[in-house]
Amino acid sequence: MNKKLLIGCGIAIALVVCVCICTFAVLLLMGPQIGNVFSQITRDLR
């Protein structure tokens, strides 16, 4: 495997993990409010 490709994959995976952790933290902190926001967003998308 190409070294640059490997580094790119590593960075991409790290970014995805960071985003997941941040999202999870926000969900834990915000709780019920997030449900209302998500329902509004899904309503807007449809």
Q: Which has more confidence, 31 or 18?
A: 18
Please state the domain extents for the chain. Answer: 3-45
Angle between helices 3-30 and 32-45 (to 10 degrees): 120
Q: Is the pLDDT of residue 1 over 90?
A: no
32 vs 39, residue with greater confidence: 39
Question: What was the pLDDT predicted at 27?
Answer: 78
Check if the beta carbon of residue 31 is closer than 8 Å to that of residue 23: no
Q: pLDDT category, 41, cuts 50, 70, 90?
A: confident
| pLDDT score, position 32 | 77
pLDDT at res. 39: 85
